[in-house]
Amino acid sequence: MVPAYTGIRPPNPEPVDILFLNLSNWPGRPVYPYAFVQVSALARRAGLSVVRWDGLGLSRQQQLECITKLVKDHQPRAVAFTIRQADSTISDDYISPDPKGSPKNPWFPVEDTQAAIKRIRELSDAKIFVGGFTFTVNPVSAAEYLQPDFGIIGEPDEFITHFDEVLNGRTEGISNLLYRADGQWQQNQRVFWGPFDDIEYTEDIIDEIFRFHGERKLRNSHLADVPGLGTAEDSGRSIAIEISRGCPCSCAFCCEPKVKGKTLRLRNLDVIEAEIHNLLRYGLRYYWFVCSELNFTKDHVLELAERVIRINEVLPRPIFWRSYFLPVKFNKDDLRLLLRSGLLLEQNGPFSDLSDETLKQMREPYRARHALQHIKDLIELNEEPEFKARRLPRWILWSWLANPYATLDSVRTTLEIFSKEKLDLKYDQAEGYPALRVYECLDGLPEQTKQEAIIVTQDDATPKTLIHPAFYYSRELVEHFGGIADVHDFLNYAQETLLSRYYRVTRNWHYFAQKLEFSTLQEIVAPLKAADLEAIQLPPWVEHPDLGKLDPTHWREQASVLLQQKNSVLEQLINTKQLTKEVHPKQDAENAILAFILHAAFSASRKDLAVVFEKLKLPLDCEGYPPASPYLTLSTLMRFHTTEASALEAVKKDFTPKQLAWFRYYLYAINVKLEPKYAFLAPKGTGSNCN
């Protein structure tokens, strides 16, 4: 299929009314543009023809070649662009933490759109319109840069209704229209329209969706027993169904109310149900219920859930769906009903911060207690028998330690509460933005935000304005850690170790063993040679679902065989990979066997180590193990030691080389990093007493 293919058309067709183009489909999660669906539904009602084309994955030159062909083939009366997003919103894609490195995946759809508009001007007299979410948050600046004939701010309902009149020069009284008059951009009255009151998806749209994703990929997602269980990687293949529009919140970092309005407008439930039945005819039963947040139309959402449950009763494969929601409004019974209707949890436990002061500054509609209760409810529901078939294989947290109002106090508060609730031992992975994506319309941010935002463009000649990728890093965090790279290092460490147990996947036991004298290693594993390994319980910091078959608990038998051989065999195993620095290991059988031996030897010796941990003020559990929580250990040790060397020296002074080796093992096993810049994590009011 050639990239500019838009379906079979009759010979010598009439010019189409609207050639609708999208160059803002993020390659990180491709979706068939819902704007194509919604605008086409409005156009169909108005009797207008639309040809749609998405430039996903093509270079700028390839896009221009395809657009040239599209304009020549379809001779459109108007060309419309939607700009859903101007970038990935992830600062790492544009700003490398390493001054010598390159950004990960820079992507510049606004600049691509400007190039496309210039090409169309060379080919056609068609009027050019630009709209979409990100255009709406920066309409005048975006129009000044892109130079279309018209802009659409928010919904295009009235523009579509009066399409011919606008093309003939009428601008007065057309809501949401942006146009140039007397050398200035003029904005008409802003009106927030409601959701479409009829079915949006037609057979030609469905056909395009199958061609966009590829039929096999789309079928695989929609025929899966539980689509995307434990991951969000296939969420782009869910089918969007709008259920409401508008958001009553005023979160300082969010543009949603500016684009969708603060008044909630509900889509008729009968229409939503008809849309679901329409999609089921094509075998599509995996949806994204589009709304700003589920929480603020609670009764509407719960009634919809009841209807989906009834539909599922007669389906061979039930409907599943995703949506955005905050940790507020829904109680445990409500969440159970939503799960029963097919709700999937993309990130189980989203919150920005657990500092109520920071949440207040960011105007978030919830507080720490709501977020914690929400997480606990989901964890408990996940274990209920009726959800056994879709029990989450791994838990993913989304949090925002580096939010624009983040301080050292807010970071410590969040990590402290998370550890106190033992949630750092529950989550398998944590994610979060290192910086805020800054937009013109945001008005509740720290006053320095827009001035200090780092703006990135692809072309050097492009003016550095906020319509392009623009990111703000917390001033206090940057000043404390010494720069963006150091902030990244801390955030990566926090997400991997202090908010989740992902660090367990990164332990390189070859590296650790090579740092020990082999004679010391022989001494600490010697008790295992005569021990019954089946009777030894491993420490509580070993397992992780991503280890799979390489989880050390599965390598007991192989470890037993190795321990009965000569010491030279163990030494050879350790030195199969000579490492001068720690690297993320490719998990393999050798690493798993070494891990089992060291974990088991620690368990067998832990009673002899109680005095060490008592000296360091680290509490032991009822089984005699020190804390499994890296944060608890780190914050406790930071009261007295701000470097690993200081802590090791204190143990070396009072204890044996064997006990010192085991303390080093413990620090490495749970990835405790003692660094001066982490001293702020010591419990408030204690500080560090020595170095």
Strands (E), 73-112: 78-82
What pLDDT, on the 0 to 100 scale, is given for residue 19?
97
Instruction: Let me know whether 384 and 488 are in one domain.
Output: yes
Mean pLDDT of the chain: 92
Last residue of some domain: 137, 160, 187? 187
What does the pLDDT look like over 309-356, one tens digit per residue?
999 999 999 999 999 989 999 999 999 999 999 999 866 667 889 999
Instruction: Let me know whether 523 and 495 are in one domain.
Output: no
Instruction: Let me know whether 325 and 387 are in one domain.
Output: no
Mean pLDDT of 491-514: 94
Per the structure, the complete domain to which residue 38 belongs is given by: 18-187
Mean pLDDT of 170-174: 95
Residue 336's CATH number: 3.30.750.210
Q: 81 has which bridge partners? A: 21, 130
Instruction: Let me know whether 323 and 364 are in one domain.
Output: no
CA-angle at 163, arms to 161 and 167, nearest 5°: 160
Mean pLDDT of 138-147: 96
Tell me whether residue 9 is in a domain: no
Instruction: Let me know whether 129 and 156 are in one domain.
Output: yes
Tell me whether residue 421 is in a domain: yes
Mean pLDDT of 24-47: 96
Tell me whether residue 459 is in a domain: no
Strands (E), 92-192: 127-131, 150-152, 177-181, 184-187
End-to-end CA distance of the chain, in Å?
66
Instruction: Let me know whether 368 and 417 are in one domain.
Output: yes
Beta-carbon contacts of residue 420 (< 8 Å; ≥ 6 apart): none
What pLDDT, on the 0 to 100 scale, is given for residue 349?
64
Tell me whether residue 564 is in a domain: yes
Instruction: Let me know whether 329 and 414 are in one domain.
Output: no
Q: Please state, in angstroms and rounded to a whole number, the distance separating the CA atoms of residues 497 and 506.
A: 10
Instruction: Let me know whether 203 and 178 are in one domain.
Output: no
Q: Please state, in angstroms and rounded to a whole number, the distance separating the CA atoms of residues 651 and 612.
A: 7
What does the pLDDT look like over 237-289, one tens digit per residue?
999 999 999 999 999 999 999 999 999 999 999 999 999 999 999 999 999 99
What pLDDT, on the 0 to 100 scale, is given for residue 356?
96
Last residue of some domain: 500, 515, 546? 500
What does the pLDDT look like over 411-440, one tens digit per residue?
999 999 999 999 999 999 999 999 999 999
Tell me whether residue 152 is in a domain: yes
What does the pLDDT look like over 603-613, one tens digit per residue?
999 999 999 99
For residue 5, pLDDT beyond 50: yes
Give the dihedral of Cα atoms 638, 639, 644, 650; nearest 10 deg.
-160
What does the pLDDT look like over 532-541, one tens digit per residue?
999 999 999 9
Total number of domains constituting the chain: 4
Q: Which residue has the tokens 């539980």?
A: 226
What pLDDT, on the 0 to 100 scale, is given for residue 441?
92
Residue 97's CATH number: 3.40.50.280
Q: Please state, in angstroms and rounded to a whole number, the distance separating the CA atoms of residues 109 and 509.
A: 44
Instruction: Let me know whether 397 and 362 are in one domain.
Output: yes
Last residue of some domain: 321, 346, 371? 346
Tell me whether residue 47 is in a domain: yes
Instruction: Let me know whether 306 and 161 are in one domain.
Output: no
